[in-house]
Amino acid sequence: MTRDGAESVERALNILRAFSETRREMSLTEISQSTGLYKSTVLRLTASLEACGFLQRGEDKLYRLGPELWRLGAIYRRGLDLGEFIRPVLRRLVDTTQESVSFYVRDGDERICLYRQNSPRAVRHHLEEGERLPLDRGAAGRVLRAYTAPKWPPGAQIREDGFYISLGERDADVAAASVPVIDNAGRLRGALSVSGLRSRFDTKAQHLAIEAMKMEAARLADHLPASD
Amino acid sequence: MTRDGAESVERALNILRAFSETRREMSLTEISQSTGLYKSTVLRLTASLEACGFLQRGEDKLYRLGPELWRLGAIYRRGLDLGEFIRPVLRRLVDTTQESVSFYVRDGDERICLYRQNSPRAVRHHLEEGERLPLDRGAAGRVLRAYTAPKWPPGAQIREDGFYISLGERDADVAAASVPVIDNAGRLRGALSVSGLRSRFDTKAQHLAIEAMKMEAARLADHLPASD
DNA sequence: CCTACAGGTTCTGTATTACAGAACTTAGTT
DNA sequence: AACTAAGTTCTGTAATACAGAACCTGTAGG
């Protein structure tokens, strides 16, 4: 029994959460192994998920995520109102820096990578859209925190600089630089981040990335639609 | 008790489904009214939804959809692999026709509007992405059925024509034209559809829309990434 | 300042449900 | 034909989720 909720609901949601970019389809047995639930339990829970449009089961017996997630994900995304403007920016930044570029927003004590454009280079920092990362580590995390928690002591310096560079904070081989995206109403909408191999991301590359992101962030400020 | 599934799971999923483009946030009482559940039941089910990232509750006590839906919706969308290619097409078709343009896929006995670009005109056919519509009515529904149910008698003529025009099939004032999008492997990927006021959508406008959609569909065929 | 109302939260007895897990079915492989 | 693995069905029972009353809190109006 869960502390406040409904155990069977969380079991069903954990079935959904077992899907990922690399696990877009799963058999009954794979779901059972992944979630630790008995197959008969999985069968019963997936029947409800299918009935409500959250899962689909093909004639091959494999389960895939269902269209209701698209609809709800689109509602969530439109609440954010950003993709249309952010994606082209990320592409231009990849062209300029030749490194991977992301856009993050804060969610509680974490940050979420909403949009991502990976570097064309074979050796690159890999990350998936939708992934959650800590707030207290990594360039984008610190930038988001600096602009959303005014009383956080290190935030003053970050706001003064207007950017943050992390060298191996989350992963020893990865370096990243990040700048905030603030709209014309003065509200933080998220953080842009360029990340790549630390050995490549020298002072010159850092400077180039920061200037390019600052320019794009300023452009975005003029174009972002007002949020609610 | 549900026939095959878990009743509490379906209740929780119905809470999620109560959200829409026009109801992006709801109070506890609104969710209770919308779903017909007791407030204490809603409180318990939403606790699980929040714990798993499917809902968020602000300090204003309002519930909003959570980031896990973005992540799962993105997985679903990337499974489809289309948005990147379809959206620019829809914009060009809106420019050409000055009417609303959609892209649909079949899902069981329904079709889903995956992507949508509305007409800039004040009076226009409105629809939301993610919405489900019948398969047996409306231009896109018939096109999808013609290419996915070879034995459906009216399908032969539609395949021969390569398009379908509906005049007031779903809504008396709305007319639509639709063409299939078939990739280079010969697989149907969905249907493009232009829709607008019937009084405006005369023979000339229909012809223009169909030719423009056919051209775009042919271009898409060369660019669509292979699906699984 | 007091009262009323509406929304949100807590609590609990009990009927109902979801589960574990065995047994069975089906399909594929050797 | 035998074996294995995945999927499906079944059921006794422990555990759960629920209804709905009671309570709490904040706001508005008199």
In a domain, B169, yes or no: yes
Q: How does pLDDT run across B102-155, given as a tens digit for each residue?
A: 999 887 778 888 888 888 776 666 777 777 888 888 899 999 999 888 788 888
Q: Is residue B83 a contact partner of residue B77, using CB atoms and an 8 Å limit? A: yes
B28 within domain boundaries: yes
Q: Spell out which residues of chain A touch residue B53, defining contact as CB-CB under 8 Å.
A: 17
A89 shares a domain with A155: yes
Instruction: Give me the residues near strand D, CB below 7 A.
Output: A 1-2, 6-9, 27-30, 39-40, 43, 61; B 7-8, 11, 37-41, 44-45
Q: Whole domain around residue B65: which residue ranges?
A: 7-72
Asked whether residue B203 is domain-assigned, the answer is yes
Cβ of B21 within 8 Å of Cβ of A79? The answer is no
Q: How many Å apart are A150 CA and D7 C1'? A: 56
Task: Tell me, yes or no, whether A49 and A160 share the same domain.
Answer: no
Residues A148 and A219 in one domain: yes
Distance B63 CA to C3 C1' (A): 31
Residue B79 pLDDT: 63
Contact A143, A164 (CB under 8 A): yes
A120: CATH: 3.30.450.40
Interchain pair A67, B19: CB under 8 A: no
pLDDT tier, A172 (very low <50, low <70, confident <90, very high otherwise): confident
- The 3-state DSSP class for residue B185 equals coil
Same domain, A162 and A103: yes
**pLDDT (average), residues A12-22:** 90
- Domain match, B41 and B127 both: no
What would the mean pLDDT of A49-76 be, rounded to a whole number? Answer: 88
Final residue before a domain boundary, out of B72, B107, B125 = B72
Same domain membership, residue B116 and residue B65: no
Last residue of a domain, one of B18, B38, B72: B72
Residues B101, B105, B110, B116: what is their CA dihedral angle, to the nearest 10 degrees? -30
A136 and A208 co-located in one domain: yes
SS3 B154: coil
- Residue B2 pLDDT grade (very low, low, confident, very high; cuts 50, 70, 90): low
In a domain, A101, yes or no: yes
HSE value, Cβ hemisphere, 13 Å, CA-based, for A84? 14
Q: B180 to chain A, minimum CA–CA distance in Å? A: 20
Query: Looking at the structure, do residues B95 and B45 belong to the same domain, yes or no?
Result: no
Whether A94 and A29 map to the same domain: the answer is: no
Query: Within window 26-55 on A, which residues have Cβ closer than 7 Å to strand C?
Result: 37-41, 44-45
Q: Is residue B1, in this structure, part of any structural domain at all? A: no
Residue A157 within a domain:
yes
pLDDT digits (tens, 9 = 90+) for B158-189: 999 999 999 887 777 888 999 999 877 777 88
Whether the pLDDT of residue B82 is over 70: the answer is no
CB A63 within 8 A of CB A152: no
Same domain, A93 and A65: no
Q: Are residues A60 and A126 in the same domain?
A: no
Closest CA to A179 of A104, A74, A99: A104
* CATH code of residue B64: 1.10.10.10
Find, in chain A, the residue whose alpha carbon is nearest to that of B66.
A76
For B6, the closest of A44, A69, A75 (CB atoms) is A44
Which residue has the closest alpha carbon to C16 C1'? B1
Residue A46 burial (CB count, 10 A): 23
* pLDDT over 80 (residue A73): yes
Give me the pLDDT at residue A122, please. Answer: 64
| Average pLDDT for B66-86 | 77
A1: in domain: no
Nucleotide nearest to B36 (CA to C1'): D19
Give the per-residue pLDDT at B3. Answer: 59
Which residues neighbour B213 within 8 Å (Cβ) at sequence distance 6 or greater?
B93, B163, B177, B178, B179, B192, B194
Q: Is the CB of B226 under 7 A from strand C?
A: no
Residue that finishes a domain, picked among A40, A72, A104: A72
Per-residue model confidence (pLDDT) at position A1: 41
Q: Is pLDDT above 80 for A192?
A: yes
In chain B, the residue whose alpha carbon lies closest to the alpha carbon of A43 is B5
Question: How do residues A107-159 score in pLDDT, each as one tens digit?
Answer: 777 888 888 888 877 666 677 777 788 888 889 999 999 988 878 888 889 99
pLDDT of A224? 67
- Whether the per-residue pLDDT at A40 is higher than 80: the answer is yes
Q: How high does pLDDT run on average in chain A?
A: 85
The number of domains in chain B is 2
Distance, CA of B28 to C1' of C12, in Å: 22
Q: What is the per-residue pLDDT for A212?
A: 93
Domain shared by B213 and B113, yes or no: yes
Domain-located, residue B213: yes
